[in-house]
Structure 1
Amino acid sequence: MAIRVVDNNLGGGTLLDHGIYLKGTAAAIAGHEDIEDVFIEGNTFGRTADGGGNYDIYIADEKVRYTMIGRNRVRGIGPHRGDQSWSDSEAAIISANTLDPSELLRVFDGGLGTYGIWKAASALSLQNGWGAGQCRFRKTIDDVLQWDGNFGGTTPTLAANTVIGTLPEGFRPRVAQWVRARVASEDCMLKISTTGDITIVTPPSGSAMRIVEQHPVKGRIAYDPGH
């Protein structure tokens, strides 16, 4: 059964540890311990407590699957409002005084296949010298993956067939995708496989590389048969 968290005022007079906390639990019937398809939309999040581990939305583990975070509102200024522009991030690429609520909503995303929240490159299992402190990605309601920011690295491997990183489950394509990436004024080609591996096809001329195409993904790896 889907859970809808819609049109609530969360926080305000009392500083909460988290506005919304989602966590899977043990179930009487094996295979039914997951929380699936939580829909979070139209809520107003007040200021949370001031600890670094406090979030507007905290998704604790992968038993929480396919949460959909829509358009919400934020209120309150604090040391941790706006210092992160997407989940799992330790460095923002935007100013903390942005007016976009989706950039200010503070989310810890330990779930599986979450929709609508920017995920930092720390979720990509980067390798072969590649880094992506300025890169993020998210999945839309239509199971389309969007990219923002650059891959990089001090001395990454640029050769063909080099794996840059691996997308997590819930963000991988159903069939392999070939996508363009921009390096300065040139384009190179990457392959994103069904295992999530992001592989160089045509070598880039440098390491500041930005994926410039959206592409479809297999947004779900399974369905909850019901309780």
Structure 2
Amino acid sequence: MSSSTEPGAPGAREPRVRVVVVDDHSMFRAGVRSELASAGAASVEVVAEAADVDEAVRAVQTARPDVVLLDVHLPGGGGGEVIRRTHRTVPGTRFLALSVSDAAEDVIGTIRSGARGYVTKTISAVELVDAISRVADGDAVFSPRLAGFVLDAFAGAIQVAEVDSDLDRLSEREREVMRLIARGYAYKEVAKELFISVKTVETHMSSVLRKLQLSSRHELTRWASDRRLL
């Protein structure tokens, strides 16, 4: 972290945590920037933004932030790919996932990639500022439900290898569609949530069922439930 005033000097203040915000929706990035400026102006500073994996890698390597606020599902390979491509070249940077997804495979996969924490987009601005500060200080930060997934994975209650093998057959977008459909979303609701057409949702759904060798939404829901993906 950096500060324009030496610690202990007259007028010294705590250095602000330098943050890069990574999300493929520009309106969401703008909202996060605004919320952080309002709730954490004295402690958090957004120094760069990125919309996909390649942009994120460049932003992290150039800005060398304290914390990367990272969406899990990104064009170009996902949030885990950003971590894998930068953690060695920018070793002082820590990663905090901020995602709409609270699915076990996303939480576990992101932590296995090297993230220090995982919070969902329902978090308040004040809580997010606190989470960023704690991750910058080296803490691991999770909501209680998501922490349970991580503990279950280490305890062997979730068969991570099996989950990974199944999900490797699906693209990032297919995983998103699969999770929402398995949770009972209608095709129109999935389309609205993911900013794609209903026809595209139908195409992805057909591909998901084919790759997983399932025949219906009911079977998909049961498949996802058995693997604690809901």
Give TM class, smaller chain: under 0.3
**TM-score, with length taken from structure 2:** 0.26
**TM-score, with length taken from structure 1:** 0.26
The structure with the greater share of residues assigned to helix is: 2
